[in-house]
């Protein structure tokens, strides 16, 4: 039975590659049709307390925080006192394995519910080590904060437009109970604009205003991140409900087309 399932998945991917989306071809994907840790040929991990005064400690290669089963990647935030860290989670990245310039990214995911969760799927400029954030550019394919249970967020950050200045280019989309089911979050990116989609419908757009790299740093490769944060400067604005744990962020697929 599993052999038949894998054959159907293969045929689906071949068909997707041949037909493409909006004239683009599938160039990279993880369908999570395997068991255990995320594929090390595709993903590595951020480790530690990385940003935004968040509460979780990100771990490396630990199934309690990132595991693949039944066709889904589950990122779990849990209170487990791992190596003295009271709260652990995972942040997976393609920083060392895959980056690209222009195309479409689609992430089908089910966000966790509860005050304090902050899951995201996003991209950063590959040149972040040399130019730093926000000059490298950031595209948030999806963000969700649990204290706003019926809202998902789509954002672009650049040197000129970012949340530190209060000038970020953001769309707050009201949608009932996004945590109740899987939804597809997608971005199409070219030299002229970044366009955001929710379940196939366009919801936000950021156009190149010709203002140079401070406004538009997106003419260079970017890499992907999927993570589940807890608390922090945004996710923790109304505290963290301890009843949310273990909190699970589920991802059905990540696909890149060009």
| Alpha carbon distance 227, 89 (integer Å) | 8
What pLDDT score was predicted for residue 13?
43
| Alpha carbon distance 66, 22 (integer Å) | 32
Under the banding of pLDDT at 50, 70 and 90, the label for residue 21 is confident
Examine residue 101 and state whether it is found in any structural domain, yes or no: yes
The answer to whether the CB of 30 falls within 8 A of the CB of 121 is no
Under the banding of pLDDT at 50, 70 and 90, the label for residue 12 is very low
What pLDDT score was predicted for residue 129?
96
- Based on the residue annotation, tell me whether 214 is a catalytic residue of this protein: no
Task: Using a cut of 0.85, tell me whether the model's pTM lies above it.
Answer: yes
Examine residue 15 and state whether it is found in any structural domain, yes or no: no
Residue 245 DSSP symbol? P
pLDDT at 151 over 90: yes
Under the banding of pLDDT at 50, 70 and 90, the label for residue 133 is very high
Examine residue 6 and state whether it is found in any structural domain, yes or no: no
pLDDT at 85 over 90: yes
- Please compute the mean of the pLDDT values over residues 80-84 and round it to a whole number: 93
Tally of domains in the chain: 1
Q: Over pLDDT 90: what percentage of the chain?
A: 91
- Please compute the mean of the pLDDT values over residues 63-70 and round it to a whole number: 98
Examine residue 10 and state whether it is found in any structural domain, yes or no: no
For position 121, which CATH number holds?
2.60.120.200
Q: Which of 31, 54, 138, 248 is catalytic?
A: 138
Examine residue 3 and state whether it is found in any structural domain, yes or no: no
pLDDT at 72 over 60: yes
What residues make up the domain containing 38? 26-257
* Residue 218, CA distances (Å) to 54, 131, 181, 184 in order: 27, 13, 31, 23
Examine residue 189 and state whether it is found in any structural domain, yes or no: yes
CA angle (100, 51, 221) in 5-degree steps = 10
Hey, CA dihedral for 147, 233, 239, 91, is it positive or negative? positive
Q: Which of 143, 168, 188, 248 is catalytic?
A: 143
pLDDT at 49 over 70: yes
| Alpha carbon distance 143, 235 (integer Å) | 10
Examine residue 17 and state whether it is found in any structural domain, yes or no: no
Examine residue 19 and state whether it is found in any structural domain, yes or no: no
| Alpha carbon distance 89, 112 (integer Å) | 13
What pLDDT score was predicted for residue 10?
40
* Both structure tokens of 142: 């999806």
- Based on the residue annotation, tell me whether 138 is a catalytic residue of this protein: yes
Q: How are strands ordered across the β-sheet holding 222-230?
A: 44-45, 91-93, 222-230, 117-125, 138-143, 151-157, 169-174
* Both structure tokens of 58: 């990100």
- Candidates 108, 109, 110, 75; CA nearest to 92 is 75
| Alpha carbon distance 205, 188 (integer Å) | 9
Regarding beta strands 222-230 and 117-125, do their DSSP bridges make them parallel or antiparallel, or are they unpaired? Answer: antiparallel
What pLDDT score was predicted for residue 22?
83
* Both structure tokens of 149: 């249970």
Which has more confidence, 80 or 1? 80
What pLDDT score was predicted for residue 209?
94
Under the banding of pLDDT at 50, 70 and 90, the label for residue 107 is very high
Most confident region among 3-12, 16-25, 241-250 by mean pLDDT: 241-250
- Please compute the mean of the pLDDT values over residues 136-143 and round it to a whole number: 98
């Amino acid at each position: 039975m599993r052999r038949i399932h894998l054959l159907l998945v293969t045929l689906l991917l071949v068909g997707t590659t041949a037909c493409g989306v909006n004239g683009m071809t599938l160039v990279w994907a993880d369908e999570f049709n395997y068991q255990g840790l995320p594929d090390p040929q595709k993903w590595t991990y951020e480790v530690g307390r990385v940003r935004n005064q968040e509460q979780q400690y990100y771990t490396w290669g630990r199934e309690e925080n990132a595991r693949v089963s039944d066709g889904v990647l589950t990122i779990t935030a849990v209170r487990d006192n791992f190596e003295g860290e009271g709260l652990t989670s995972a942040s997976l990245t393609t920083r060392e394995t895959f980056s690209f310039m222009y195309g479409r990214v689609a992430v089908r995911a089910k966000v966790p519910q509860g005050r304090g969760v902050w899951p995201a799927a996003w991209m950063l400029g590959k040149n972040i080590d040399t130019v730093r954030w926000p000059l490298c550019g950031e595209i948030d394919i999806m963000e969700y904060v649990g204290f706003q249970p019926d809202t998902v967020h789509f954002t672009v950050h650049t040197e000129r437009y970012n949340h530190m200045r209060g000038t970020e280019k953001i769309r707050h989309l009201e949608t009932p109970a996004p945590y109740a089911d899987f939804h597809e979050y997608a971005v199409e990116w070219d030299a002229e604009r970044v366009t955001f989609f929710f379940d196939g419908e366009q919801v936000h757009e950021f156009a190149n205003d010709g203002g140079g790299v401070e406004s538009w740093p997106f003419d260079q490769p970017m890499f992907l991140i999927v993570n589940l944060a807890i608390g922090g400067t945004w996710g923790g604005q109304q505290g963290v409900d301890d009843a949310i744990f273990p909190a699970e962020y589920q991802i059905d697929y990540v696909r890149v087309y060009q």
